[in-house]
Amino acid sequence: MSRRFLSIGECMVELSQTGDGLLRKGFAGDTFNTAWYARACLAADWSVDYFTALGDDAMSDEMVAFIDKAGIGTSLIRRIRGRTPGLYMINLKDGERSFSYWRDSAAARSLAADPDRLREAVESAEVVYFSGITLAILPQEDAETLLAEVRRAKAAGKLVVFDPNIRPRLWSSYDVMHTTISEGARSSVLVMPSFDDEAAHFGDDSIEATIHRYRALGAIHIVVKNGADGVTLNFAGEQTFVPAEKVEKVVDTTSAGDSFNGAFLARYLEAGDAPTAARFAAKVAARVVSEHGALVPREKLGLDGG
Ligand code: ADP
């Protein structure tokens, strides 16, 4: 039987401007992006599944077909009658990107409202991945359901992985955000934060401070990403620094962290060595920031030595 990597969260419809007043449609979302790169980098004896909730409209059908075509399992996705997916638009003005979101009533907000289905999905997986955005979009009671489930998975010896992906605008208050993200980290084995977010929102004055805070909460391994300044790994207390790859021209940093996470996890699961995995992930992320869009196709990731 294949081993399952399960990613839990929200994938949205993405509209981007093409410059001639037309809009291009795509699909993206942090945990989905990570599933995409994990799928691209993992061997075929792993299945990668996405866990979310969608509606029963044509756009939800299209998203499921898109996920399926990417080789990512859709059988665990909950479909809710009368609901629709969330939507965001990328606005371009004078070369600067900004985002508008329509996600308040997205079906994904109900992804943990069926606890039995969630439990079954988590139990079926060896690796469980979720993020601060996954927690932020859930009603508080459902966030607690999800946290209880991942705690159970951690206790059962599964690799539970959490990217805090801090987005203050998604949270009702700083207090709730701090408490819930800390609880996410406490419930996980591996935490993969981005240092700039942690410094801005938890007030960490160094990468050491970020590592110390998450270890004190109960995370066992920590990977702190720091853009072009590389990553610092702390695996069961052993610390290593891995530099970023040199990139000639950064085109679009969308999903740099998500792709790093997916590639890192894929290589870590297969090679079992964190620094090796981080060197591989830095190469993949360097390709991703050299291309447009969140989801760079497998052929452009240089995985086969190309
Ligand atoms: P996030 O997107 O979560 O903020 P980072 O900006 O830390 O994450 O980027 C994640 C990874 O992407 C980095 O660890 C690095 O490997 C790669 N990366 C990001 N920006 C650059 C860059 N300018 N040059 C080279 N690599 C980069």
Beta-carbon contacts of 151 under 8 Å, excluding residues fewer than 6 positions away, are 187
Domain of 157: which CATH number?
3.40.1190.20
**Prediction pTM value:** 0.97
Indicate whether 190 belongs to any domain.
yes
Ligand 1 atom 2, closest CA = 257
**Cα(109) to centroid(ligand 1), Å:** 28
228 within some domain = yes
pLDDT of 306: 46
Candidate list 56, 114, 258, 273, residue with the active-site label: 258
Q: How far away, in angstroms, is 120 Cα from ligand 1 center?
A: 34
CB of 185 within 8 A of CB of 154? no
Tell which atom from ligand 1 comes closest to the C-alpha of 246: 25
Ligand 1 center to 127 CA (angstroms): 23
Supply the range of the domain harboring residue 274: 3-10+29-83+109-300
Residue 103 domain flag: no
Task: For residue 268, report the distance from its CA to the centre of ligand 1, in Å.
Answer: 18
Q: What is the DSSP letter of 2?
A: -
226 in any annotated domain: yes
Residue 56 annotated among the catalytic residues of the structure:
no
**Percent of the chain whose pLDDT exceeds 70:** 99
Pocket of ligand 1 from Cβ distances under 6 Å: 194, 225-228, 231, 244-245, 247, 250, 253, 256-257, 260, 282, 285-286, 289
| 200 within domain boundaries | yes
User: What is the domain count for the chain?
Assistant: 1
ipTM over 0.90: yes
Q: Which ligand 1 atom sits nearest the alpha carbon of residue 282?
A: 16
**Contact between 152 and 118 (Cβ < 8 Å):** no
What is the Å distance from ligand 1's center to 262 Cα?
A: 13
Distance (Å, whole) CA 107 – CA 113 = 11
Q: Kindly report, residue by residue over 209-236, the tens digit of the pLDDT.
A: 999 999 999 999 999 999 999 999 999 9
What does the alpha-carbon distance between residue 297 and residue 36 come to, in Å, rounded to a whole number? 9
Q: Which atom of ligand 1 is nearest to the CA of 244?
A: 16
How many Å apart are CA 217 and CA 80, to the nearest integer?
36
Mean pLDDT of 253-280: 97
Average pLDDT over residues 176-181: 98
- CA 195 to ligand 1: nearest atom: 7
From 201-210, 217-226, 295-304, the region with the lowest mean pLDDT: 295-304
